[in-house]
Structures are given as structure tokens and as C-alpha cells.
Structure 1
Amino acid sequence: METAKRSQYFLYVAWIVSLAAMLGSLYFSEIKGFIPCDLCWFQRIFMYPLTLILGVATFQHDIGLKKIILPMSVIGGIISLMHYLEQKVEGFGGIKPCVSGVPCNVQYINWFGFITIPFLALTAFTLITVFTLLAVRKKSA
């Protein structure tokens, strides 16, 4: 019983992280007026459904959705890492350069010299991955 409660807690925290990430991205684009670049859109494509899927997994006590959650959070994290490297590493062009709208190396925010929007997304994807893995981890005897 304790393992089930622990798994439920970790799923709940992962859902809260995804919800905060989704609301944060909407705040930056809809309230602050930051126009998302191509890589930002790809990160949103992976984050927004995670909010719904993690919500269902949390409230239906369905850890089986890990087969969907983990690949989405890992792929989204890889995209966020590529985007962050494109912003912070001189000469890193990424696999596909942004071609429409805002260039992907634009930094709307740069808190403390290293926290950018892709860094925030990478942190969220990493936390979701870690908490999902903790939720599915078997109790060691």
C-alpha cells in the first residue's frame, strides 16, 4: 500500500510540473508577448499533451501510461537541450535551423546568465522523467 501511495505522489508532482510548464509557456507567449520559435513549438508539442496524460494517470491511478509519458518527456528534453545549446554555445547551429519567424537563438529571458526559456523547459522535462521513473520504481526489499 505504501508503494502505491508513493507512486501516486510522484505522478502528482510530475503532473504539477507539467502544468506549471504549460502555464508558464502560455504566460510568456500570451501575456508577455514573446513569439515562440520553431523549437519552442516542438517543445510545446511534447509538453502540452503531457499535462493531460499525467493528469489522467494521476487521478485514474494508471501507472501504465508511463509507456507514453517517458518517451514524450525524454524527446521533449532532447529538443530543449538542443535549443539551449543553440542559444548558449557559440557556433552550435542545431540539426535544423529555425527558418520562420523568430530565430531560435533569441533569448527573451536570461536570468542569472543561464536561465532561458529552453532551460526552463529542459528542467521541466527532466523533472517529469525523474518523477515518472520514481513512480514506477519497484520497492526494494
Structure 2
Amino acid sequence: MNKFLSGRVILYSFIVALTATSGSLYFSEIAGFTPCILCWYQRIFMYPLVLVLGVGLFTKSKDVWKYVLPLSLVGLSVAFYHYNLQINPSLLAPCTTIGFSASCSERFVTEFGYITIPWMAFSAFTLVTIAMLLLKSRKN
């Protein structure tokens, strides 16, 4: 692994998770977008990453990947599924009727014709997952 990246993998992952968490809070609390149920699930897996990676950064733990990887992989799967529902709304059945949340197929943000909020979450989870796999391979 590149020497520049090797000592900073946890830091970069922390920055990605913090940015994703801040972005989700901005979209819901400042922009006023109501998160759907799948957005909440993605938050459940992203928010702890800030804490776990922050502790790993502070303690300089090289084993942080053991705790981060399961969260990031499940979050990545949920984000991919959510993005697929936005791209193919015909697959969507029960999500539009859940409580007071927004529809999972609703697109609050669309940039360049394909970048939506679930795609942003998918990208963040992917970056964290790759970083943790690099950290794991360096450890072994």
C-alpha cells in the first residue's frame, strides 16, 4: 500500500463517515427532507462509524477494521438496495406506505442524472469498506 495512505486510512475513513453523517443531518434538519425508512437504516449503520473510527483514530488501533467492516458492509447493501429502488420504482411495494416517512423512491437530490442521496451513502460506505479492507490486508 502507498506509504502516504498507509498511516492515514483510519483518518480518511473517519472524515468520510463524518461528512456523510453531517450531510444526512443537513438534508433532514436544515434542508427539511423527510428521511424514508431505508434512509434511517443507512443512518443506523453510518452514525456509529464516526464514533468507532474516532476512537480507533485516537487510540491508534489497527484492529478497528473488525468493528467497522460489518457496519459498512451492511450499510453498503442497504444503500445499494435503496438506490436500486429509486432507479426502478416499479420494484417498490411496501416502502411508500410505512408510517409518516417519505417514499423510498422519492428523489430529493439528483445531480448529473444519477447521483441521489442513496448513491452518496453508497459511495461513502464503499470508500470506508475499501479503506478497511486495505487496513486489514496491511495488518495481515
TM-score by length of 1: 0.89
Q: Which residue in 1 is equivalent to 2:120?
A: 120
Q: CA deviation at 1:90?
A: 4.0
Cα separation, 1, equivalents of 2:22 and 2:65? 22
Equivalent residue of 1:138, what SS? helix
Q: CA deviation at 1:97?
A: 2.5
Matched AA of 2:68: I
Q: CA deviation at 1:45?
A: 0.4
Q: Does the CA contact (< 8 Å) of 1:6 and 1:135 recur in 2?
A: no
Cα separation, 2, equivalents of 1:129 and 1:85? 20
* 1:71-122 per-position Cα deviation (integer Å, ceiling 9, x unaligned): 100000000000000001242227x625122110000001111000000000
1:8 has 2:7 as partner = yes
Q: Which residue in 1 is equivalent to 2:63?
A: 64
Cα separation, 2, equivalents of 1:124 and 1:33? 22
Q: Does the CA contact (< 8 Å) of 1:8 and 1:135 recur in 2?
A: no
Q: Which residue in 2 is equivalent to 1:23?
A: 22
Cα separation, 2, equivalents of 1:49 and 1:139? 23
Could you tell me which runs of 5 or more consecutive residues in structure 2 were left unpaired when the two chains were aligned.
Answer: none
Cα separation, 2, equivalents of 1:69 and 1:7? 17
Matched AA of 1:121: A
Aligned sequence identity (%): 42
Runs of 4+ in 1 over 6 A off after TM superposition: none
Equivalent residue of 1:34, what SS? coil
Cα separation, 2, equivalents of 1:136 and 1:6? 13
Could you tell me which runs of 5 or more consecutive residues in structure 1 were left unpaired when the two chains were aligned.
Answer: none
Q: Does the CA contact (< 8 Å) of 1:74 and 1:125 recur in 2?
A: yes
Q: CA deviation at 1:139?
A: 7.6
Equivalent residue of 2:90, what SS? coil
TM-score by length of 2: 0.89
Q: Does the CA contact (< 8 Å) of 1:87 and 1:104 recur in 2?
A: yes
Matched AA of 1:33: G
Matched AA of 1:115: I
Q: Which residue in 2 is equivalent to 1:92?
A: 91
**TM-align CA RMSD:** 2.1
Cα separation, 1, equivalents of 2:40 and 2:18? 17
